[in-house]
Structures are given as C-alpha cells and as structure tokens.
C-alpha cells in the first residue's frame, strides 16, 4: 500500500472481465494493494458467455468441415456425424478449465477477490452487496471499500433492435446460443458483424441452413471492402443465403411453437416472407453504465459510453474506466490493454503511451478467418492519404496448399510518401494467429519493406505477410 495511505486498498477494480482482471494483476505486479470485485465469476463475458465458448464451438465446426475433406488427404473417414451435445459439453469443459486456471492467478498475484455486486459511492468508494457463503447474491451484507484509485470495468451486455425482444426460445441472443446443447434445423442471423458471421459460419459447417441479414451494404462492414466482398462470396458459395441492405419491420417478426417468420427484402426491392426454427439477434452490445454509481462522480458519458482520455482517465480524478464501457473496439484484448495502461498510470509510471485504437488488432473467427490492424483502403481514401497496396493470395503460399485451405489473401497498405505501414488485412486460414506479426510491426513502426525484409520460415502460412509486404513495392518473390 502507498506510504501514509489510510485507504483499504491502493486500487479497487470493479468488474472482473478480461480488462478488469488484467488491470488488477498488473497493478499488483507493480506493487499496489488491489481488490477485484465482481458479482459473477472471474473472466466475465469473454470467458463465460463470449469469446472462449464461441471459439470452442467454431473449432468443432471447423474440424467437422475438415473431416468432410479427409478424402482429399488420402483418408477414408466417411461423412462426419455431428453430436452437438458432446460439442457443447466440450465447450463447457474448455471454459471450466480456463476459469480454474484464472482463479489461481488471483492468489498468485496477491489480489483480494471480493464476490458481490459493487457500485460507486463517490469516485473512490465502492459499496459491495456481498454474496453469502453459499454464493447467494446479497446475502452477505454490505462491505465498503475505499481505494486511492478505482477502475470501472463493468463490461457490456447483448442488445437487440428496438421493438425486437428476444424470448430465449425462438428469438435468441448469443447468450442463449452458448447455453444450448442442441442445433436448430435452420436459423436466421440478424447482423453480419463479427458475432453474426461467426455464428453463421459455425451453424453452416454443422449442417444448419443459414440466412444471414445485414442492414449495411456489406458483411463485416468495419473491415476492408475487399475482405468483406470475399467473405460474402465465400458464404454464398458454401450455400448460405446472404442478404445485405436488408430491411424488415420488427413488427413483421412472428414467433410461434414451430419457429419464427419475418418479412424482409433488400433496400428498394420487394420483400418476401422467410422462416426458420431460430432467429439469432447479433446486433451489437450495450455498455453496463447503469446502476454502477456514475451519478455520484464527475465522470461523463459520450453517446452512452464513459468518456476517458488516452490513458483511461475519466473527468473525475482517481476514477478510471476501461473495456466495453468506454467504447473503442469492444474487444477483450483491447480491454486488457486498456487495463494495463490504466494500471501503469495509477502506479506512477511516467512513460505510458496513450491508447491508439488504430493500432489495435481485430480478429473474427468465421471461416475464412478475418484479422486486421490499422486503416482500411477506404479509410485511407476518406482521409486523403496517398497510399500503395501489396496483395498476395494464399494460393501462392505452399503451406496453405499443403493444408488444403487456401481461400483468401493478405493485403498490406503503405504510405506512398513516408513508407509507413498504414494497414494490414488478412482473410484466410489462421488469419487470427498471423495478425500478431502485423500488430508487432505497428508497435515497432516497421515499414512494409522492413516487414518483408525479415526472414519468414518456409513453408509456413506466415510467409504471406512477408510476401504482401514486399508486394507493396512490387517485389514479392512468390507472387
């Protein structure tokens, strides 16, 4: 604890998701006395209702699809039989294993874990309705925590379209999907952002008929346009029905015992009725800023999110906010990075670089996988930046051909005048792993020529990043 402090803790972290526990662990490593408060299990949405269970199911789905192509590798395996109940059990085992390991890190880092519903009572006081010994919420009375500093990390929740109310049965969100142990015959997915395309891809690979609806002109609309176009072509070629510019009145959605019906059509064209057993709403997330005591502080909201500076400081001295409640990219790894930045600022580190969201990697685990960091080509055009592009397909990479997955490409965008790296975009096999090199390149301010100049082992999928980087100046060796 800080010398002369009369507070219970140097730091109280309210919320134990990826951002919250990362902040708590790093602060403790920096010598602070830390309390970590949450009414749920450590790990938050990402571990228990998001990233990890979703990726476990996607891994099973991808494995199923790979078995279908076993004959291409000289193996007679027959058609795979999907046992979704066992897949769901494995999903839960993965989550439990990660959660068990995470709990041990609380003690390892000497962080005080406090189970209960916490809310701010002023900027540096947290009142906690404690869980009882049996885990019953609120049964343990109230505990008041006083910290020199507080980090608010209360995360987000799924949200639906206005007037479209999930019932947990026929109209569901990702929360319900990740608790299910059976598959529908067919599904309509509303929203083709990262969550929507991941579930659409998973369902299709497991034999479910999929209709994917997106209000905007492109699937994964935040990605580079060429990436979006390839993903839509891939989904369509695989047999999914993909509709962009999709318009429907939520009043047309009718849920019954046999499924869901709605009337939808592309913008400006005639609508038609479609139906499925299940309607999955994947239209984004809302920050958990209500009932956390923000009104007892000087912290401000901006479009519903807590307003912070690049070092995660609110307008209230000693109160910080991180993760989904501050907006940004609403990604677990970004929340962790924000938490680490806040921890270093609180610990008195004088050399803390502010968050730059352009340099944060983005990863989507549909098939083909999508990953990117930096600006898209369209953003370069909008900002009037002179740029040059190197683009190489996975078909030029031996390891991709060997693995039998070679759909997609790598695209590197460089500045025409300064040679700075502006953006790196990947769509294809293991793109979410390959983006790590791109993230490091941004951290080290590497130019495309420097990225391409680094030796990439052969044969590896990673070669595609080097090849695309050299292609920026027309010097790719293998394409």
* 204 among known catalytic residues: no
Could you count the other beta carbons within 10 Å of the beta carbon of residue 367?
A: 23
| Cross-strand bridge partners of residue 338 | none
C-alpha gyration radius of the chain = 24
| Cross-strand bridge partners of residue 186 | 209
Q: Which long-range contacts (CB under 8 A, 24 or more apart) does 82-90 make?
A: 82/183, 82/206, 82/207, 84/181, 84/182, 84/183, 84/206, 85/181, 85/182, 87/57, 87/60, 88/57, 88/180, 88/181, 89/181, 90/56, 90/60
Report the catalytic residues.
458
């Amino acid at each position: 604890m800080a010398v002369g402090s009369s507070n219970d803790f140097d730091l109280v972290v309210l919320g134990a998701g990826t951002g919250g526990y990362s902040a708590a662990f790093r602060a403790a490593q920096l010598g602070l006395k830390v309390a970590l408060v949450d009414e749920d299990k450590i790990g938050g949405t990402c571990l228990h209702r998001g990233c990890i269970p979703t990726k476990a199911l996607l891994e099973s789905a991808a494995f199923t699809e790979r078995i279908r192509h076993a004959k291409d590798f000289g193996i007679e395996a027959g058609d795979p039989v999907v046992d979704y109940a066992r897949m769901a059990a494995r999903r839960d085992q993965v989550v439990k294993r990660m959660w068990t390991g995470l709990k041990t890190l609380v003690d390892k880092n000497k962080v005080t874990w406090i189970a209960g519903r916490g809310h701010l009572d002023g900027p540096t006081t947290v009142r906690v309705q404690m869980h009882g010994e049996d885990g019953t919420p609120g049964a343990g009375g109230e505990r008041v925590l006083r910290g020199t500093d507080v980090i608010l990390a209360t995360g987000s929740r799924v949200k639906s379209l206005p007037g479209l109310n999930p019932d947990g049965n026929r109209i569901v969100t990702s929360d319900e999907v990740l608790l299910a142990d059976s598959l529908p015959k067919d599904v309509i997915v509303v929203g083709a952002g990262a969550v929507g395309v991941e579930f659409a891809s998973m369902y299709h690979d497991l034999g479910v008929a999929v209709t994917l609806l997106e209000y905007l002109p492109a699937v994964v609309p935040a990605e580079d346009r060429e990436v979006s176009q390839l993903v839509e072509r891939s989904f369509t070629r695989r047999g999914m029905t993909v509709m962009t510019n999709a318009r429907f009145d939520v009043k047309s959605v009718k849920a019954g015992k046999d499924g869901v019906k709605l009337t939808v059509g592309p913008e400006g064209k005639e609508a038609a009725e479609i139906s499925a057993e299940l309607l999955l709403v994947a239209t984004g997330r809302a920050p958990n800023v209500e009932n956390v005591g923000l009104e007892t502080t000087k912290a401000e909201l901006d479009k519903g999110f807590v307003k912070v500076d690049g070092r995660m400081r609110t307008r209230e001295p000693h109160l910080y906010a991180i993760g989904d409640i501050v907006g940004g990219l609403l990604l677990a790894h970004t929340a962790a990075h924000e938490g680490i930045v806040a921890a270093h600022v609180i610990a008195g580190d004088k050399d803390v670089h502010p968050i730059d969201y352009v340099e944060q990697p983005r990863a989507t685990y549909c098939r083909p996988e999508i990953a990117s960091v930096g600006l898209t080509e369209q953003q370069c055009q909008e900002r009037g930046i002179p740029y040059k592009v190197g683009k190489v397909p996975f078909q030029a990479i031996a390891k991709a051909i060997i693995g039998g997955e070679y759909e997609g490409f790598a695209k590197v965008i460089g500045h025409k005048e300064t040679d700075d790296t502006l953006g790196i975009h990947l769509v294809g096999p293991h793109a979410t792993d390959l983006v790590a090199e791109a993230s490091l390149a941004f951290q080290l301010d590497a130019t495309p020529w420097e990225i391409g100049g680094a030796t990439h082992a052969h044969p590896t999928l990673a070669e595609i990043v080097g090849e695309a980087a050299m292609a920026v100046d027309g010097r790719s060796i293998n394409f």
